[in-house]
Chain A
Amino acid sequence: MEAAPGVMRSDTPTVTGEGRSLYAGRVKVYPKEAHGTFRTVKWIVMAVTLGIYYLVPWIRWDRGPYLPDQAVLIDLPARRFYFFFLEIWPQEFYYITGLLVLASLALFLVTSVAGRVWCGYTCPQTVWTDLMIAVERFWQGDRNARLRLDKHMWSFETLWRKAATHLSWLLIAIATGGAFVFYFADAPTLAKQFWDFDAPTTAYLFVGIFTATTYVLGGIAREQVCIYMCPWPRIQGAMFDRDSLLISYRTWRGEPHGPHRKGETWDGRGDCVDCRQCVAVCPTGIDIRNGPQLECIQCALCIDACDEIMTKVNRPTGLIAYDTVRNLEAGDVGAEPLNLFRPRVILYAVAMAAVAIIMLIALLTRPELDVNVLHDRNPLYVRLSDGGVRNGYTIKLLNKLYLPRAFSIGVEGLPGATLDLIGHEGGAVVPVPPDNLQSVRIYLTLDKPGVKALTSAATPFSFVITDIASGARTEHGATFQGPPR
């Protein structure tokens, strides 16, 4: 079939040619070490984030005799999440949700102001990959040395250096997997169990999983995770605008580019000397001079590389820099003032503040006692021989303090009612163990005059729960069911 005179429709490259391949082979990236401001910042960020990750499980936090003393602990068997002064019960999981909402809003805010700062500096994939590359550089040398080693794949030197690299990666991976499980159990105890080989199978399993993911994703897959696996690069396009600070090659200054010999004039040409250092240091192996790209994680290492060269050739630094599209188009440094107060930035900031305030209020007004009143469903009420009516309830008292407490239970708004606490006949006092839930069966009986005085089948009233020690009282609404009126 002809698509046009002389052109078969099936002649298009996507059908017949190489373009049909859906698989792109990986071009191995050999990032060169950069030196400069941003590299220093990245070393510091790496030290801080890895430090937090590895050390936090070892921080102790005294919670009294009844609870674990680990500052950050996700206690799955006991269904508690401990975070320093906070203890979160399963039904308070909305705190975690709030935290995640806050984190994603922060991500949006930062991205709309300064691009992929998360990707470039703090994303675990970036941090661990950076660490793995540093280890690789330690054993195999910098870019050129590594390229040379890979050319002689089966030489003794290549083999032992590679083996040492992979061994170090595995050790880092095991440490990473190991640190992960410490968040879920008492760290010193689990560490000792690990040493004695009697830790729970689950612990070994998760150490194994996280060892494997760290080794594969951080050591081997590297930039492919960012390019192919991560959804964030696809989403962030919606966060940028013409006023976002992005790592950019200042085309107006760099072009036309070309090699430059010492002593030659800079007139009539751009500052880019085609040294390709920005490409050499790039961990995803791209050329920033092609403009903003999906693969660019905005790690700023090309800025360092370029600045170093610019200094050497006695040109002003900042040929590659954080800049806005608006400013780039204006074609001069600082031609367009940085506009931080854009609707999207303000919106994200306001949303963040709102969520933060709501969470703070929820946290400050968090009750130390949770009460649930459940009315018996079957039967709703029981008629008694003297003409009275009895209702059954189950009250669940949830003591969130680390101390044993005792509560008295009373009734308000239901004249003539008598209260029976099953199993607590000696006075209506219910002891609740620390950090625990106590459930009490209650029979509420209304005598005949009381029943006569009811005006509807369901009468609202309140259970009054008083902390014996502090005298703090809370009321909880319930209904008393009676015969239809």
Chain B
Amino acid sequence: MAKKDGDTGDAGTTGHEWDGIQELNKPLPKWWLYTFYACIIWAIGYWIVYPAWPLVSSYSKGVLGYSQREKVSEDLEAAQADKSTFRDKIASADLATIQADPELLNFAMAGGAAAFGDNCAPCHGRGAQGAFGYPNLRDDVWLWGGSLDAIHQTISHGIRAEDPTTRNSQMPAFGKLGMLKPDQVSDVAEYVLSLSGNAGDDAAAKRGQVIFAANCAMCHGAEGKGNQALGAPNLSDELWLYGGDKATVVETITNSRGGMMPAWTGRLDPATIKELAIYVHSLGGGQ
């Protein structure tokens, strides 16, 4: 705003002057000032009512006794209480009952999906599609059984885990321990591949069949169909957990395999484990 020289308006100057430039005294608008004062008064009320001042070892609590931490824990408790109706029912009902009740099933599926993402996805994948050495939970192949109860047992007690009732078995490292010579391992590998129609050398497969019957059939069955009680995989299907090319099969026979999964009892509560069993069973492979 241009002013005539020396015209300081009604308010005068603040008395400050730099190089001949004077600072005019322009007070803040009244409405602004009063709003500001009102805010100060409001703030005093705030100090009294809410926690405000840091003290030596604590802080002023305010007359309302409000605490954000307490609010959060109250909210969490309320959320738990909201869910408890269904959670209690799921904890007490057996798996088949839960599956038959649409309301419980719906709740279990939602809880199972969340728990799966938190606990299982790191190994089995976000979509339960598995990875090298970690089974795909959507296909129709189960090492230890794909019924609801079998899945529940596996999740509860794990595989080769530190749990007295964990699922346990151990394939010998045939090559490493010297139980089979390298050419015998190669022959058995040819035979195993022939079970799913992928043999490259029929003569070797024939020789391997004899070795298979003597060493492998005990667990994998005479026809290589596997045995879920022992976690012995079916060798005649098209799916391979560690790979179905000859080099991988030779490696498996030489060094053996033995994946492990932790027991979730104790880590998760029984209701969550049930929800997980139902969720995994629903993914497409459940039997």
B4 with A8: CB separation less than 8 A: yes
Establish whether residues A379 and B138, one from each chain, have CB atoms under 8 Å apart when the complex forms.
yes
**Cβ-defined contact, A10 with B237, below 8 A:** no
* Residue of chain B at shortest CB distance from A20: B1
- A392 CB within 8 Å of chain B: yes
Check B136–A382 contact: CB distance below 8 A. yes
Q: Does B243 contact A (CB under 8 A)?
A: no
Which positions 93-141 of chain B face chain A at CB distance < 8 Å? Answer: 125-129, 136, 138-141
Whether the pair A378, B126 counts as a contact (CB closer than 8 A) is yes
- B245 CB within 8 Å of chain A: no
The CA of A394 and the CA of B239, in the complex, are separated in Å by: 26
Cα A10 to Cα B2 in complex, Å, equals: 6
Residues of A within 8 A of B4 (CB): 8, 10
Q: Which residues of B contact A392 (CB under 8 A)?
A: 138, 284
Q: Is A384 an interface residue (CB 8 A)?
A: yes
Instruction: Flag whether B183 is at the interface (Cβ < 8 A).
Output: no
Measured between beta carbons, the chain A residues less than 8 angstroms from B126 are: 378
Residues of chain A within 8 A of B284, CB atoms compared: 382, 390, 392, 443
* Cα A443 to Cα B138 with chains together (Å): 11
Q: How far is the CB of B279 from chain A (nearest CB, A)?
A: 13
A392 to B128, CA, bound (A): 13
Main secondary structure of the interface of A (DSSP, over half): mixed
Asked if A387 lies at the interface with its beta carbon under 8 angstroms from chain B, I say yes
Whether A385 contacts B234 in the complex (CB less than 8 A), given A1-B2, A443-B284, comes out as yes
**A384 in contact with B2 (CB, 8 Å):** no
List A381-401 residues whose CB lies under 8 Å from chain B: 382-387, 390, 392
Q: A8-B4, A9-B2 are in contact. Are A385 and B127 (CB under 8 A)?
A: no
B69 interfacial by beta-carbon distance below 8 Å: no
Please judge, given known A-B contacts A10-B3, A15-B2, A443-B284, whether A386 and B238 are in contact too, CB under 8 Å. yes
Output the least CB separation between A147 and chain B (Å). 34
How far is A376 from B138 in the complex, measured between Cα atoms in Å?
12
> Is there an interface contact between A378 and B2, defined as CB atoms closer than 8 Å?
no
> How distant is the Cα of A384 from the Cα of B139 in the complex, in angstroms?
5
- For B127, what are the chain A residues with a Cβ–Cβ distance below 8 Å? 376-379
Residue in chain A with minimal CB distance to B137: A382
Q: Binary interface profile of A, 273-284, with partner B (CB < 8 Å = 1, else 0)?
A: 000000000000
Q: Are A382 and B238 in contact (CB under 8 A)?
A: no
The B139-156 residues at the A interface (CB cut-off 8 A) are 139-141
Residues of A within 8 A of B136 (CB): 379, 382-383
Kindly state the separation between the CA atoms of A221 and B136 in the bound complex, as whole angstroms.
Answer: 71
Residues of B contacting A390 in the complex (Cβ-Cβ under 8 angstroms): 138-139, 284
**Which of B125, B129, B138, B238 contacts A385 (CB under 8 A)?**
B238
Give chain A interface residues in 357-373, CB to chain B under 8 Å. none
Q: Which B residues lie at the A interface, using CB under 8 A?
A: 1-4, 125-129, 136, 138-141, 234, 237-239, 282, 284
Complex A-B: 21 CB contacts under 8 Å: A1-B2, A10-B2, A10-B3, A15-B1, A376-B127, A379-B127, A379-B128, A379-B129, A379-B136, A379-B138, A382-B136, A382-B138, A383-B139, A383-B238, A383-B239, A384-B140, A385-B234, A385-B239, A386-B238, A392-B284, A443-B284
A residues whose Cβ falls under 8 Å from a Cβ of B: 1, 8-10, 15, 376-379, 382-387, 390, 392, 422, 443, 448
A-B CB proximity, top 3 nearest: A378-B127, A385-B237, A379-B129
Seed contacts A379-B128, A390-B138; 11 additional CB < 8 Å A-B pairs: A1-B2, A8-B4, A10-B4, A379-B127, A379-B129, A384-B141, A385-B140, A385-B234, A390-B139, A390-B284, A443-B284
